[in-house]
Amino acid sequence: MNSQKKHLRQTVHPIGSQEIQETLGSAKALDFATPEALLQFDRSITTTPVALRHRIVETLTQTPKSNSIPWWKRLF
């Protein structure tokens, strides 16, 4: 089991922005003893795409009314 824990460890150099240093620092403290710890760290360093928010707002504001006539009814 100890050998498994060792493999879960990640060595990350503490250089870079304050944000990433804090994140990596907390990851070191957790030492990825459990898969959850690793996944929590993985999630914390995953950034949501900037375009996503804009895309959603655009879709929501441009969505036609649900009771609009279907395309096939307009044809026939």
The residues that touch another protein, with contacts defined as CB under 8 A, are 3-5, 7-8, 10-13, 15-17, 19-20, 24, 34-36, 38-40, 42-43, 45-49, 51-53, 55-57, 59-61, 63, 65-66
CA angle 56, 46, 51 (to 5 degrees): 25
Q: Closer to another protein by CB, 8 or 73: give it.
A: 8
Residue 47 Cβ, how far from another protein at the closest point, in Å?
Answer: 5
